[in-house]
């Protein structure tokens, strides 16, 4: 990394740290670009050089929060762990991160809900360089130890990573074959989002990690006795 790139990286981290603190303290709506620049101790123009809007700052924060889960998934894949186990661990890690960062998670959650309600494109999803056709299992999985391909697929794109793990689990005969990976990913993500939303709203008396664990296995095992 050159000195210029290193300086750029440091400034971006300053901005993101300032934004994370302000969003957690005041919420997204009550935090302005001016507030973030002042907190980061930089000029407003400098902030706009790195991020074109407050929303793009949130997108970058969401990507950062997801990067650790992706790194853990890559390490597990290289160790040969089962895709369905890796998927469960990612969901539990996200749940644990939510418990540790509830106010910041609310900002992420509200932004996602706004996108879904008004059917707008989520910039975090659009951030992925390549879109994969996951409606039917391809001959070669991206989750086969080729780290570079997995990084391109999963970087900042949680739904795509879930689909890819489900596809890999289908190839390993861990999951049923008569449902598309897209459908199963939607079910699992919907369960996770609902569990997260109810916990953030104070409608859950148990830890989110415990709730996600129980609900995930309820989906996998089915509800019949």
| DSSP string across 96-139 | HHHHHSHHHHHHHHHHHHHHHHTTPPPHHHHT-S-----SS--S
pLDDT of 29 reads: 85
> Across residues 16-29, what is the average pLDDT?
90
**Taking the domain 55-221, which CATH number applies?**
1.10.357.10
Residue 173 zone, left/alpha/beta (φ > 0; ψ -120 to 50; rest): left
Joined tokens for residue 15: 């901005």
Non-local (6+) Cβ contacts of 157 within 8 A are 124, 125, 127, 128
CA atoms within 13 A on the CB side of 112: 18
pLDDT of 204 reads: 84
- Residue ranges matching CATH 1.10.357.10 in the chain: 55-221
CA atoms within 13 A on the CB side of 84: 16
**Sign for the pseudo-dihedral over CA of 47, 48, 53, 59:** negative
**Taking the domain 1-52, which CATH number applies?**
1.10.10.60
pLDDT of 14 reads: 96
C-alpha to C-alpha distance for 8 and 6, rounded to whole angstroms: 5
pLDDT of 3 reads: 85
Q: How far, rounded to the nearest angstrom, does the alpha carbon of residue 77 sit from its chain's CA centroid?
A: 18
- Whether the full predicted model's pTM is greater than 0.85, yes or no, is no
- 181-220 pLDDT, tens per residue? 999 999 999 999 999 999 999 998 889 999 999 999 999 9
CB 86 within 8 A of CB 165: yes
Q: How far, rounded to the nearest angstrom, does the alpha carbon of residue 63 sit from its chain's CA centroid?
A: 7
- Residue ranges matching CATH 1.10.10.60 in the chain: 1-52
- 175-186 pLDDT, tens per residue? 999 999 999 999
Please report, rounded to a whole number, the percentage of residues in the chain having pLDDT higher than 70: 80
pLDDT band at 104 (very low <50, low <70, confident <90, very high): confident
C-alpha to C-alpha distance for 201 and 140, rounded to whole angstroms: 41
- 10-20 pLDDT, tens per residue? 999 999 999 99
The DSSP code for 224 is -
pLDDT band at 154 (very low <50, low <70, confident <90, very high): very low
C-alpha to C-alpha distance for 157 and 132, rounded to whole angstroms: 11
pLDDT of 84 reads: 94
């Amino acid at each position: 990394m050159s000195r210029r790139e290193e300086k750029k990286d440091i400034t971006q981290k300053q901005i993101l740290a300032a934004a994370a603190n302000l969003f957690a303290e005041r919420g997204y709506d009550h935090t302005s670009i001016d507030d973030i620049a002042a907190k980061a101790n930089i000029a407003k123009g400098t902030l706009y050089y790195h991020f074109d809007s407050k929303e793009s700052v949130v997108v970058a924060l969401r990507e950062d929060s997801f990067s650790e889960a992706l790194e853990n998934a890559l390490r597990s894949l290289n160790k040969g762990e089962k895709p369905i186990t890796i998927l469960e661990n990612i969901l539990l890690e996200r749940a644990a991160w939510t418990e540790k960062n509830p106010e910041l998670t609310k900002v992420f959650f509200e932004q996602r809900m706004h996108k879904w309600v008004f059917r707008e494109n989520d910039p975090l999803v659009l951030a992925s360089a390549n879109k994969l056709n996951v409606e039917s299992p391809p001959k070669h999985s991206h989750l086969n130890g080729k780290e570079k391909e997995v990084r391109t697929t999963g970087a900042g794109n949680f739904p795509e990573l879930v689909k890819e793990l489900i596809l890999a689990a289908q190839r390993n005969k861990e999951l049923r074959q008569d449902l598309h990976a897209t459908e199963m990913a939607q079910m699992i993500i919907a369960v996770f989002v609902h569990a997260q939303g109810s916990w953030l709203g104070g409608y859950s008396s148990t830890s989110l990690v415990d709730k996600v664990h129980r609900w995930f296995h309820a989906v996998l095992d089915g509800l019949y006795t």
